[in-house]
Amino acid sequence: MIVAQPGTTTSRPKLSTATIATTPGQIQVFAIVITLASAMLWAVAQSGIASMGHSIQTIGKDTVPSIVAAEKIRASLADMDANAANCFFSQGTREARAAYETDRHSAADSLVSAANNITYGKEERVPILTMVDGLQGYVGLVETARSKGFPLGMDALRQSSEQMHTQLLPAAEALDKANFSHLDEIYKTSKEAIPAAKLRLWVVGLLVLFALIGLQFYIAVRMKRLITIPVTAAAVVLIGWLLMMGNAIGAVESDLKTAKEDAFDSVHALWKTRAVAYDANADESLYLLERGSVRTPESGATLEQAFKQNVSQIIGPTEPEKILQQVGTGKPNLTGFLGEEMRNITFDGEKEAAVEVVKTYAAYLSVDEKIRQLETTGNHQQAVELCTGSKVGESNWCFNQFDKALGKVLDINQKAFDSSIEKSFGDIAGLTIAAPIVSAIIIALVWIGILPRLREYRA
């Protein structure tokens, strides 16, 4: 037994310069390098997994649901305005009142959903509060207009529509923009960060692999051991892990592209189409009410211009007949939101469904032209009947056909988005747990492999 003398201390053997010059010392150096590199591999993998998880969460759960909620609110509010106006006509009042109440409840429900998913503080809270407060005032003005009836209630109806367009709809659009800016930012960042994470993983992984190969070769040369099974097993585990991580990163890249570029860009354009189309539909009804109450050649001109501007946002300035001709050739040259959708056809059945949207909206616009022609030629009542009619070929029927067709394309893209996001979460599921385990296994196998060799020298 060795007893420490007073004034002296004992310590574990350390790698000295002399020790490192020996074969056992150099084997230990290899093992230490592999241990440190494997720990680095764990850190790099963990960082990449966290980055991918943040991108998926932000795109799939934080921003997109809030953007969709904002556009749902916007659509419901715009449709409320249309149905508030339709209640003033002599026919279709009961259906319009029921639709108005449905829209009011839908807007309120979507506001609650948006409030429950606030991620970016004031950017979202302010427009939500603006809509909550403004909706109460809007409903009050509509009720005042109804109590007075037509034409006495037109002043209150004008005020309600003005509040809709100066306060409520801009707030809904602000909520959309607040979330879309973050969505756009995180997606651009992820397109750079994910490949960078993949590169870092492969660089560190190859460093570990070369160290393992170097250790195996060194033992083979110095100790005449052709294969050290644990070290070889560590290399196999490492290669398997690198391939697994590479596949996961590639899958996440592909899934996020499908979710954002292929699916959500269409979802966004289509929801904007619906919201603006509802607003244009309200302009059509308000135009007839304005013409019916004021009865001057200039009355309704502002609303007619607003209708045209909304249609231009949806489909461009092209006339309905030309739109149908272009669709018939299979090469519709559209601008606006529907033009964005037609240029982003990706999924099975999407092209046919999108073409149907264009056709049905062109049909609605054709009926609108007839309504305005009847109105300007003195056939006000016939124009109102065509505007509020729900029979085949009448305005409400055409608009409902368009809205149903729009819903089908939305469903195709929304399902593709949801599926891609869920798949992305699945792609990285378990990797956070696996990363430290893999590094620990590699380290353990290396030390298990070299300990018998070190004992040979001690013997």
Q: What is the mean pLDDT of residues 311-335?
A: 77
CA–CA gap between residue 282 and residue 295 (Å, rounded): 19
pLDDT in tens, 368-413: 999 999 999 999 999 999 998 889 999 999 999 999 999 999 999 9
Q: What is the mean pLDDT of residues 232-252?
A: 95
pLDDT in tens, 182-205: 999 999 999 889 999 999 999 999
Higher per-residue pLDDT: 236 or 390: 236
Judge contact between 421 and 60, C-beta under 8 A. Answer: yes
Q: What is the mean pLDDT of residues 417-422?
A: 96
Residues 6+ apart with CB under 8 A from 118: 66, 124, 125, 128
Q: What is the pTM of this model?
A: 0.86
pLDDT value at position 6?
44
Burial 92-111 (b: 16+ CB within 10 A, else e): beeebeebbeebbebbeebb
Judge contact between 394 and 386, C-beta under 8 A. Answer: yes
Degrees, nearest 5: CA angle 32-38-39: 95
Percent of the chain whose predicted confidence (pLDDT) is above 90: 70
Mean pLDDT of the chain: 89
Of the pLDDT bands very low, low, confident and very high (cuts 50, 70, 90), residue 331 is low
